[in-house]
Amino acid sequence: MSVNLKGRNLVSLKDFSTEEIWQVLKTAEQLKLGYYRNEQPKLLADKTLAMIFQKPSLRTRVSFEAGMTRLGGHAIYLSPSDIKLGERETTEDIAIVVSRYADIIMARVFGHEIVVDLAKYATVPVINGLSDEEHPCQVLADLLTIYEKRGRLEGLKFVFVGDGNNMAHSLMYGAARVGMHCTICTPEQYQPLPATVEEAQEMGRTTGARITLETDPLAAANGADVIYTDVWASMGQEDEAEKRKEAFAPYQVNAKLMSVADEQALILHCLPAHYGEEIDYQTSRTPNSVIFDEAENRLHAQNALMVLLTG
């Protein structure tokens, strides 16, 4: 397999074809092997990554910055006060200027339209490190983790339990591209965007992936190969936290839910976790849980992505 991704952006996981996603995953496998052999080639030597943050993050900042360092490059952290996207300067001007200094841009933002505009006006590759609508880097790490543990993706039954948020959107796109059946289980009033569901379902017809919605957690989890969850209130939704706790209480990943899944079902969580809410601590520490392998794989999947986008 040889797919050329040089110069491309990753704004949404739907931007990449099945072959392109597999190119990232297979490249990540090789880079991870080198990482553990202490044979990390300096594939990003003399390259600079500009990291634009509207939202703080442990995993996103550390994984991108450490990845650039390990591969011989350099990362610059730009905090919300450094840039003030759309306030001090337009997104267009920021994209053009930063493109003159850096070889690649990663942005972790609130509004999805910000990363869309960055990609539109930048002359270097732009990576969506998270937006309110999508989290494609996380899903590349998730797919890598599932593939490592199960040896395949096609035909697996994947169930996301919780809020129909940016994670749900990107997971549907990713599953559809690789032929993995995906059920998003949420309360009726918290379902993912209908247009995104329809797009993912259409994509899934090509690979045989079934993308479905469910409101009953036990019905959704029955026989599942993978159970995935995320926080019930994302950053910026703090004022809804108590209301959401009440609505999502029956959607906790716990021993009862896991009892109806496949005996070897993987447990994933993109972190940070609110133990006792979307997942109980005991369940997060069972042998089925791979949440910390998943967190590590942010590093390897993103390294592969940066290497491929910069050529």
Superfamily classification of domain 13-135+298-310: Aspartate/ornithine carbamoyltransferase (3.40.50.1370)
DSSP for the chain, please give it: -----TT--BSSGGGS-HHHHHHHHHHHHHHHHHHHTT----TTTT-EEEEEESS--HHHHHHHHHHHHHTT-EEEEE-HHHH-BTTTB-HHHHHHHHHHH-SEEEEE-SSHHHHHHHHHH-SS-EEEEE-SS--HHHHHHHHHHHHHHHS--TT-EEEEES--SHHHHHHHHHHHHHT-EEEEE--GGGPPPHHHHHHHHHHHHHHT--EEEES-HHHHHTT-SEEEE--SS-TT-GGGHHHHHHHHGGG-BSHHHHTTS-TT-EEEE-S---BTTTB-HHHHTSTTB-HHHHHHHHHHHHHHHHHHHH-
pLDDT in tens, the chain (311 residues): 578 999 999 999 999 999 999 999 999 999 999 999 999 899 999 999 999 999 889 999 999 999 999 999 999 999 988 887 878 899 999 999 999 999 999 999 999 999 999 999 999 999 999 999 999 999 999 999 999 999 999 999 999 999 999 999 999 999 999 999 999 999 999 999 999 999 999 999 999 999 999 999 999 999 999 999 999 987 667 778 889 999 999 999 999 999 999 999 999 999 999 999 999 999 999 999 999 999 999 999 999 999 999 99
The full set of domain ranges for the chain reads 13-135+298-310, 138-294
- What topology does CATH give the domain 138-294? Rossmann fold (3.40.50)
Active site residues: 108, 135, 138, 230, 270, 298
End-to-end CA distance of the chain: 16
Picking from 245, 218, 235, 246, the residue whose alpha carbon sits closest to that of residue 271 is: 235
Asked if the domains at 13-135+298-310 and 138-294 fall in one CATH topology, the answer is: yes
pTM over 0.95: yes
